[in-house]
């Protein structure tokens, strides 16, 4: 049984999930889709639950309450391999059918059907989530609540369940993170959980560029990124990059970010380099094949090694070329680049095993060694140990001047973020558009092709309308795909409304108003 939550695998270019799903469906596997939008895959689901944006945590906790009350959970797994069951049970009890329906729009009857179908198939039930769940103000705890469902029902690391893949034993290229922390990376003090998993906060970096606090950022060298179109509050991104003393962009194309650069250098495409890739779902490792080379175009390693040598930092780049780097990475596995070249379809580095936790002295990689319904790690950092649900602002504190809820960043199968918009045959007869329900179209007095102005508390854009079929989009909710310069939706998204744990911005439930132009 598959449960797709905020996930559209058809929009994943080349995704194997499509193949796995339909093979499983032919064998009788059930499919549940939970999403604010009725997508093509939702139409084929056994159960489709159309939730209000950013309320996934309430739905998950409602399911948890149902599962526990009906004793549909795996008592052995919960008793031996989890921490905090009683605390989770007591907290989830607040998520009654009435509350969940009011918060999410999903009825108690449908909630029960979802819980029963999932549990009837357990432990061979798996939840696949999209990264859109990360882009709301309660993202981490919403995702934690969803993850608790698989643990409650004993689906963890089961065949057909939530498989935990083993990663290849490669050497690590990252620097000593403790030394990095001593330098005070931007955002470390405000979002320590993010920093401790070796990530930095780019939104706060924009503030540092403009304010000089906690220290000035005067230059950036950027490879293969286009934050002017993909970061929240695009106007601030443009202002921040324009304030730099030096901006260098390495890319294949003249992107909107590259237009701001002092220097634009040609980047090497995937066809101009060989790199190690691994597919952890299959536990195989392979080497991509270099096809072509251009005289004055350096691969990433050549560029950074050359720059390091000029700055007397060559000790960090001791390898002469990419092949030497790759051989060094592969050493612990007893593999070499030459061996991988002889196996173009890859080598399985470890056979797939299930329920590996039963063989380990420390079953899971947490502080307690168990699946933690109550997180000791987050508690140590001063956060709630439980996956506490916080209602999105448009529900808890609605503003009359912003009566619609914008969901941004949905995928289009032709594109990946802002990529491929410069390929004429892929953009023919297409462009940015705002998708709205027919009910909202009537209220606004618009039809497909009309232009409207969409305004948030941050900014405004003008964009053509696409009126969807009835039921595709909830009344009061609108969708805009990101990545279009002609109508950059990230001019509307705020950079100061963030998840308190990850710091990720609010992109999926932005209050807006709409007016016909």
Q: CA-to-CA distance for 154 and 119, rounded, in angstroms?
A: 10
Average pLDDT, the chain: 92
Encode pLDDT of 225-279 as tens digits.
999 999 999 999 999 999 999 999 999 999 999 999 999 999 888 899 899 999 8
pLDDT for the residue 9: 63
The residue ranking higher by pLDDT, 268 or 64, is 64
- Distance in angstroms between the alpha carbons of the first and the last residue of the chain: 46
Q: Kindly give the interhelix angle for 97-104 and 108-121, rounded to the nearest 10 degrees.
A: 100
CB 165 within 8 A of CB 280: yes
Quick one: which of 221, 174, 231, 226 has its CA closest to 201? 231
Encode pLDDT of 467-484 as tens digits.
999 999 999 999 998 889
Q: Is the pLDDT of residue 465 over 90?
A: yes
Domain 177-348 of CATH type 2.60.40.1180:
no
pLDDT for the residue 131: 81
Encode pLDDT of 164-202 as tens digits.
999 999 998 887 777 887 888 888 888 888 777 767 778
Residues in the chain: 517
Quick one: which of 200, 206, 154 has its CA closest to 180? 200
pLDDT for the residue 13: 44
The domain limits of the chain are 2-165, 177-348, 399-516
Q: CA-to-CA distance for 481 and 414, rounded, in angstroms?
A: 12
Task: State whether residue 150 is helix, strand or coil.
Answer: helix
H or E segment at 151?
helix 139-152
Please compute Rg for the chain using Cα positions. 24
| CATH of segment(s) 399-516 | 2.40.40.20
Q: If you average pLDDT over residues 280-290, what whole number do you get?
A: 92
At the topology level of CATH, where does 2-165 sit? Dimethylsulfoxide Reductase; domain 2 (3.40.228)
**Residue 401 exposed, middle or buried by CB count within 10 Å (0-12, 13-18, 19+):** exposed
pLDDT for the residue 15: 63
Give residues with Cβ within 8 angstroms of 356, minimum separation 6.
157, 164, 166
Q: Is the pLDDT of residue 138 over 90?
A: yes
Q: Is the pLDDT of residue 29 over 50?
A: yes
DSSP state of 70: T
pLDDT for the residue 370: 97
Integer angstrom CA distances of residue 116 from 64, 69, 104, 149: 11, 12, 19, 12
């Amino acid at each position: 049984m598959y449960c797709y939550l905020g996930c559209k695998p058809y929009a994943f270019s080349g995704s194997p999930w499509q193949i796995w799903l339909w093979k499983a469906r032919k064998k009788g596997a059930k499919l549940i889709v939970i999403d604010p939008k009725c997508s093509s895959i939702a139409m084929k689901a056994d159960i489709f639950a159309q939730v209000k944006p950013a309320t996934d945590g309430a739905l998950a906790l409602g399911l948890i309450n149902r599962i526990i009350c009906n004793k549909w959970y795996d008592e052995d797994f919960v008793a031996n391999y989890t921490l905090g069951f009683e605390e989770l049970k007591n907290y989830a009890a607040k998520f009654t059918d009435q509350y969940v329906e009011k918060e999410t729009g999903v009825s108690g009857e449908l909630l029960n059907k979802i819980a029963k179908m999932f549990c009837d198939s357990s432990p061979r039930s798996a939840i696949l989530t999209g990264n859109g769940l990360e882009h709301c103000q309660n993202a981490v705890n919403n995702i934690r609540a969803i993850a608790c469902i698989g643990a409650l029902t004993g689906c963890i690391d089961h065949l057909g369940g939530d498989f935990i893949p083993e990663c290849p034993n490669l050497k690590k290229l990252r620097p000593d993170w403790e030394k990095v922390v001593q330098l005070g990376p931007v955002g470390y003090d405000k979002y320590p959980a993010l920093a401790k998993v070796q990530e930095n906060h780019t939104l706060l970096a924009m503030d540092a560029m403009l304010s000089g606090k906690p220290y000035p950022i005067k230059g950036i060298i950027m490879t293969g990124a286009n934050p002017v179109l993909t970061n929240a509050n695009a106007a601030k991104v443009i202002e921040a990059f324009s304030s730099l003393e030096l901006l260098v962009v390495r890319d294949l194309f003249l992107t909107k970010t590259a237009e701001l650069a002092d220097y634009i250098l040609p980047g090497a495409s995937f066809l101009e380099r060989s790199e190690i890739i691994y597919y952890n779902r299959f536990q195989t490792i392979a080497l991509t094949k270099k096809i072509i080379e251009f005289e004055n175009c350096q691969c990433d390693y050549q560029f950074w090694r050359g720059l390091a040598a000029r700055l007397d930092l060559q000790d960090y780049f001791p390898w002469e070329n990419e092949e030497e780097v790759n051989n060094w990475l592969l050493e612990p596995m007893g593999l070499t680049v030459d061996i991988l070249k002889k196996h173009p379809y890859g080598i399985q580095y470890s056979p797939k095993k299930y329920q590996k936790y039963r063989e380990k002295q420390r079953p899971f990689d947490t502080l307690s060694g168990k699946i933690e319904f109550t997180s000791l790690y987050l508690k140590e950092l001063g956060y709630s140990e439980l996956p506490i649900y916080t209602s999105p602002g448009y529900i808890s504190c609605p503003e009359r001047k912003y009566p619609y809820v914008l969901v941004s960043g949905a995928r289009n199968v032709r594109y990946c973020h802002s990529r491929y918009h410069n390929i004429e045959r892929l953009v023919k007869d297409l462009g940015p558009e705002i998708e709205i329900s027919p009910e909202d179209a009537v209220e606004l007095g618009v039809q497909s092709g009309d232009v409207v102005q969409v305004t948030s508390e941050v900014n405004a854009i003008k964009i053509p309308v696409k009126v969807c079929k009835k039921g595709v989009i909830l009344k009061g909710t609108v969708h805009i795909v990101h990545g279009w310069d002609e109508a950059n939706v990230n001019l509307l998204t705020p950079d100061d409304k963030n998840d308190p744990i990850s710091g990720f911005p609010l992109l999926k439930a932005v209050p807006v108003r709409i007016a016909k132009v």
